Amino acid sequence: MKSILPRPVLHTAGILMLGAALALCVRGQETPKAVIVTPATPQQLEVQRIGETAIDRLAISMVNEVRSALRGGDPTDALDFCHLKALPTTPGEIISGMPRIMAVKFTSLRIRSHENLPDTSDKAALDYIDQALKNGSDAPGVVVQRIDIPDSQPEWRVYKPIAVLTSCLACHGDPAEQSPRLRNKLQAMYPDDQSTGYKAHEWRGVIRVTVADGPTP
Ligand code: HEC
């Protein structure tokens, strides 16, 4: 899986939702203080560029992985490894050639696994996207967030919304259409699963990367 990440990105994966970034600044929750920024300085634009490049690679890998998992015929067999679970976890070594990527997370307002639970800052970004969609706007193509940490460098997070593709429906669509084997295994692994019942093209969640703070120009 890792081997396909460094390959040049030839196209943007279909799951990434397209839309213009909304030029709005909103304040996040109280602690920690998360602020959604519209990148303007070279440093902020670099964070966005690095984050987007990383997420595009992850999205392509994720879609390829889902496709090849489903080629095996039974999605049940893919549950234990799907969604890039085999990625390295050491900060800076998660995506080869991208040392400023410190963390990768898949999260959503409707999660399957507690391990993907959004923290306060993730939730602020998810709510921001949710609100744009509820207002009838396009989902922002990317959200850049700065988290101010007292006496420390800020933490930067970049989020991109992802949509449900037809290939995702096997595991995130109508449970009534799942085989008993798949349904039983999902129920056993994720008793509080909220991630079913989606339809194609709906907003599913985000891919998020944490980008290390860079030198101030
Ligand atoms: C083979 C079944 C399967 C398919 C197909 C599948 N998923 Fe998932 N998905 C899962 C499982 C299992 C989890 C929980 C992963 C974990 O334990 O971290 C999950 C979790 C997620 C999460 C993280 C948030 C959460 O709910 O825990 C997102 C986002 C997500 N899936 C999006 C997608 C998208 C988009 C597609 C299609 C490109 C897709 N999935 C296809 C099984 C699947």
In a domain, 12, yes or no: no
How wide is the angle at C-alpha 63 spanned by C-alphas 78 and 2, nearest 5°? 80
d(CA 137, CA 125): 16
**23 lies in a domain?**
no
Average per-residue pLDDT for the chain: 88
In the chain, which stretches have pLDDT less than 70? 1-13, 18-31, 215-217
- To the question of pTM greater than 0.85 for the whole model, the response is yes
Give the nearest ligand 1 atom to 85 CA: 18
Residue length of the chain: 217
200 belongs to a structural domain: yes
pLDDT at 93: 96
Contacts for 112 with CB less than 8 Å, ≥ 6 apart: 172, 186, 190, 193, 194, 195
The reply to whether 109 falls in a domain is yes
Q: Which domain holds residue 156?
A: 36-211
pLDDT score for 212 = 96
User: Residue 217 and residue 202: Cα distance in Å, rounded?
Assistant: 40
φ/ψ bin of 197: left (φ > 0), alpha (ψ from -120 to 50), beta (otherwise): left
Q: Tell me the best of 115, 168, 184, 202 to mutate to test the pocket of ligand 1, counting ligand atoms within 8 Å of each CB and taking the most.
A: 168
pLDDT digits (tens, 9 = 90+) for 110-124: 999 999 999 999 999
- Asked whether residue 52 is domain-assigned, the answer is yes
Q: How far is it, in rounded angstroms, from Cα 152 to Cα 215?
A: 14
Q: Is residue 6 part of a domain?
A: no
Residues sharing a CB contact under 8 Å with residue 190, sequence separation 6 or more, in sequence order = 112, 113
Is 195 near ligand 1, meaning CB less than 6 Å away?
yes
The answer to whether position 3 is within a domain reads: no
Domains: count for the chain: 1
* Chain segment 153-166, per-residue pLDDT in tens: 999 999 999 999 99
Q: Is residue 4 part of a domain?
A: no
- The dihedral built from the CA positions of residue 42, 44, 50 and 53, taken in this order, carries a sign that is negative
